[in-house]
Amino acid sequence: MTLRTMTQSLIPALVIGILLGPTAPVQAGEDGGYAGAPVQISVGGRAVGLGGAYVALADGPTAFWYNPASIGNIRNDQLEAAWRTMSFDRKTGYIAFVHPFTQDEAAMALSWTYAGVSDLYEYNTDGVRGGQISNFNNAVTFTFGRRFSPVFALGATARYVQQNISNINAYSIGFDLGVHMRFPRDWDMGGTTLPMSKLQLGVAVQRLGQKYPWTTGDYWVKDDETGSSFDERFPVIVRIGAAADLWQERVILAVDGEINEEEDARFHAGLEVMPVSQLAVRAGMDHSEPAFGAGFVLPLDNNKRSLLVLDYAYDIQPGPIDGEHVFSVGARF
């Protein structure tokens, strides 16, 4: 096999595997290694500290990632940015803005997410290093959510994704759909009262219709060669979750179940405790790995209508991989 043939066969493998998922967690042998793996990882300090159990609980700008229907519950302008420190020179972060519509129980959100890997280089079969390889991912989303009744809300996200690796670009458009339910009062069931007012439910279907149309022609043009083309479909993810207020919003329990076409079923669970009104401490399980975190809310005016929100989480990774730190800062006004 010639060097060119070997290299040409390796590029699709790299694209499909490691380099298409620069922020994907290392998992068991049967999981991972598919297109759009960065969408799988939890984002936001609060959500990560809760083990990613956020489909029913999402109540801020990160709802664009977990459940677009929850955007419809937001009644003030909110801005949030977050970043995640990762091993293997991986980087990821986002910025999101939410704006409610005053005439309706509805809101919209815009976000930009970046993920990438630095210090990647080409090597030939003799181990000689060549040029640096670019590898980054940009995603821009538009989310709209509306509450149609005190119980029921719907939402949708349109996502535009760009992936670049070594001058090869792929562009994709896909959609997420979400449902959120919360109950304004308890249920009386024949003398037994069910505390439904303490419960929230959420369902999200993510990455519908999303795929990468790859072509390696841009890589081989420098050698006056042609490449190959193929489509790589994102696996659809379905998440179902519930969140319960256990004590006057001072103790919250959240659980999610997740089904991915390319992975085993996953389970997320998290507990948030607020010992005082401005401080929250969190612990969770993201599938089989624990996570911990804390959050702090600082009022910016006497009426407490403008708030500064700070969140931090430590996400333990499987095997020998170092744990990852997640920082979020947000403003509500």
Residue 68, pLDDT > 90, answer yes
- pLDDT of the residue at 22: 38
Question: Which tops the pLDDT comparison, 223 or 144?
Answer: 144
Query: What's the confidence (pLDDT) of residue 220?
Result: 62
> Is it the case that residue 122 has pLDDT exceeding 60?
yes
User: With pLDDT > 70 as the criterion, what percentage of the chain qualifies?
Assistant: 83
Q: According to the model, what pLDDT value does residue 217 have?
A: 64
Confidence of residue 222 (pLDDT cuts 50, 70, 90): low
Q: In which band, very low, low, confident or very high, does the pLDDT at 136 lie, cut at 50, 70 and 90?
A: confident
Can you give the length of the chain in residues? 333
Residue 145 has pLDDT above 90, yes or no: yes
- pLDDT in the model for residue 29: 36
Across the range 29-36, mean pLDDT stands at 55
Indicate whether 26 pLDDT > 70: no
Residue spans of the domains in the chain: they are 3-272
pLDDT at 5: 39
pLDDT in tens, 274-292: 999 899 999 999 988 999 9
Q: What is the pLDDT of residues 308-318, one digit of tens each?
A: 999 999 999 88
Is the pLDDT score of 13 beyond 70? no
Summarised one tens digit per residue, pLDDT across range 259-278 is 988 888 999 999 999 999 89
CB 289 within 8 A of CB 315: yes
pLDDT tens digit sequence for 161-184? 988 877 778 889 999 999 999 988
Predicted pLDDT of residue 85:
83
Q: What pLDDT score was predicted for residue 21? A: 38
Read off the pLDDT of each residue in 118-145 and give the average, rounded to a whole number.
Answer: 80
Residue of 321 and 8 predicted with greater confidence? 321
Burial 177-202 (b: 16+ CB within 10 A, else e): bbbbbbbeeeeeeeeeeeebebbbbb
What's the whole-number average pLDDT of the chain? 83
Q: Are 273 and 293 in contact (CB under 8 A)?
A: no
